[in-house]
Every structure is written in C-alpha cells, then in structure tokens.
Amino acid sequence: MNEENKLEIRKPESFITAKQSIKLYRQRWRRLKFHVASLDRLTGGGLHSRGIVEIAGDAGSGKTQLALHLALVAQVQPIDDMPRRGVVYIITEHPFPSRRITQMEKAFKKNARILSAPEKFNFTDNIFVEHLHSPTALEQCLSDRLPVLLENNPIELLIIDSVAAVYGDEQNYVDRAQSFRRVVHALHLLQERFDFAVVCTNQVRSVVDEMTLDEERVVPALGLAWASLVHTRIQLSRVIGNHERTCRLLFSPTAPPGQCEFVITEAGISDATEPL
C-alpha cells in the first residue's frame, strides 16, 4: 500500500507525522495571492487561508479598495481541479460600493497578466453581499444564515468591512470581548468546514505615550481583546503629498515585519513602481 492510500484511510483522530499532515491538509496552508508583486513579497506569498487576517488603517488609506481587489483576485485562485469559488462580503459601515467594484471588474478583465478566467466570466455574480450593523446580527449571520449559503455556494474568501463599525456603540467591554471570541470561534469552525480565507478591515485610533505625553501613535482599534484573536495584522496609511499608500506588515506567523508601497488605480491595487 502506498503512502497516499495510507493517508486516505487514516482516521482523523489518529496521530500522523508532520510530513503526512502537509500532504493530507495541503489546502489548509495555501495562500490567497494579491497578484501585486510588492504585497505578495511582503506577506511571504499572500494571505493565509486559515486564521483571521486584519487590514487596519485610517480613512482613505485604501482598506475597502484592497478588500474589493481581493474579492476579485480570489476568484482566479487555482485550487487543483475545483470549480471557481465566490466571495462573501459583509459590510457594516457604509453602502456596498457597487459602482466601484463594477469599474474594477471591467478594468480587471483586461489585465491578461492576472486573469485566468473564461472570457465572459462575471466576477460580481459571485460576490454575496450582506449588510450588518450590530454584534448580534453578525453572530446570527455566522451561525445561522452563512452556513446555509455555503452549503451550495463554495467561497474562497470572506470579508468583514469593517469589524470596528459593528462594535462602535458597544460600551460594555466585557460583553464586547466575549462577542469577539464568539465571532472568531464561529469563523474558525466555518473555515474548517468550508475552507476559505477571512479578511477583516479595522479602523485605527491615536494613542499618546503616557511617559512623554508628546509621542502619538496610530494603532488598530478594538484593543488587546481583539488583537489577541488576529492571525496576521496589516496596517495601511496614506503618504502625505503623494498618491501612494504604505502597507506595513505588523505581525504574521510566516513572514517578518516590513513595509511596501502601492497605488490605487482604476483596476484596483497596483505596485507603486508601475505606470498609472
């Protein structure tokens, strides 16, 4: 009996070697590529398909633009012989930018470097949008409605834009932290069952150094209770007097901290060195 057949009949609860685990669960460790060279280099080949990836930044830094870009490129990810998979986009802060995603889709279809989809493939037909405005609604969506959708509509990516807006009116920090854990636990269970990546955008806040009172830092919102549940944290910022945005990788289990620049174009996100 060869090694592959052994893996197929092995019971899930039994011990296996690390090498066998890589083969058996190879889909768990795949990456969601940006198809933007600087961002893929920064993240060590793209975003993980497990855990929670956070993209934080101030207003106008490009969080939603990057999320929309990922919603398009996620649909051209090669996954063995599996059919193309869609995207779930949960929006909490403002109306879904339908005009912008349509504009990006038109330009994206012309980009032969990225596109490997059929000529008449419509990306927006495979983006499932939900509007939510409270922690209770988000938890109910993840536990009740989303599993029903995923049974018949496999997805490659789930986006929550933004997670901070859901908890904007919540003043009880204990209840808020408990809700964080319930949401992330539900997402982890869904990831194991339906196999997709999760990206959450987040707002930022200013923090003044308590020792000097004159050093101000911009940090992602929601505090340590949320940060402890995040798998990879990315922070965006605008370059003053320039059209470029800065992308900083703050932490990730497989890539060192670093930063790069990108620009927002009609087609979405591009390297800063590319012509506009």
Crossing angle between the packed helical segments 63-73 and 98-109, to the nearest 10 degrees: 50
Question: What number is the average pLDDT over the span 220-242?
Answer: 91
Domains and CATH numbers, the chain: 46-232 (3.40.50.300)
Give the pLDDT score at 10.
Answer: 43
154-211: pLDDT as tens digits: 999 999 999 999 998 777 899 999 999 999 999 999 999 999 999 999 999 887 665 5
Give the pLDDT score at 276.
Answer: 47
Band the pLDDT of 268: cuts 50, 70, 90.
confident
Give the pLDDT score at 211.
Answer: 57
Question: What number is the average pLDDT over the span 63-89?
Answer: 85
Band the pLDDT of 259: cuts 50, 70, 90.
very high
Band the pLDDT of 118: cuts 50, 70, 90.
low
Q: Does pLDDT of 60 surpass 60?
A: yes
pLDDT > 90: what percent of the chain? 62
Give the pLDDT score at 167.
Answer: 93
3-38: pLDDT as tens digits: 444 334 445 567 888 888 877 777 777 889 999 999
> Parallel, antiparallel, or unpaired for β 232-238 and 52-57?
parallel
Residues ≥6 apart with Cβ < 8 Å to 8: none
Q: Which residue has better confidence, 107 or 4?
A: 107
Band the pLDDT of 79: cuts 50, 70, 90.
low
Give the pLDDT score at 176.
Answer: 94
Q: Which residue has better confidence, 6 or 53?
A: 53
Count of beta carbons in the 10 Å neighbourhood of residue 71: 27
From residue 241, give the alpha-carbon distance in Å to each of 124, 238, 244, 245, 266: 34, 9, 9, 11, 20
Helices of type H across 11-134: 18-24, 37-42, 63-73, 98-109
- Cis omega (within 30 of 0) on the bond before 162? yes
Q: Which residue has better confidence, 247 or 11?
A: 247
Mean pLDDT for the chain?
86
Q: Does pLDDT of 213 surpass 60?
A: no
Question: What number is the average pLDDT over the span 206-233?
Answer: 81
Give the pLDDT score at 112.
Answer: 52
- CA-based angle 214:216:220, to the nearest 5? 160
Residue 36 DSSP SS3: coil
Give the pLDDT score at 136.
Answer: 95
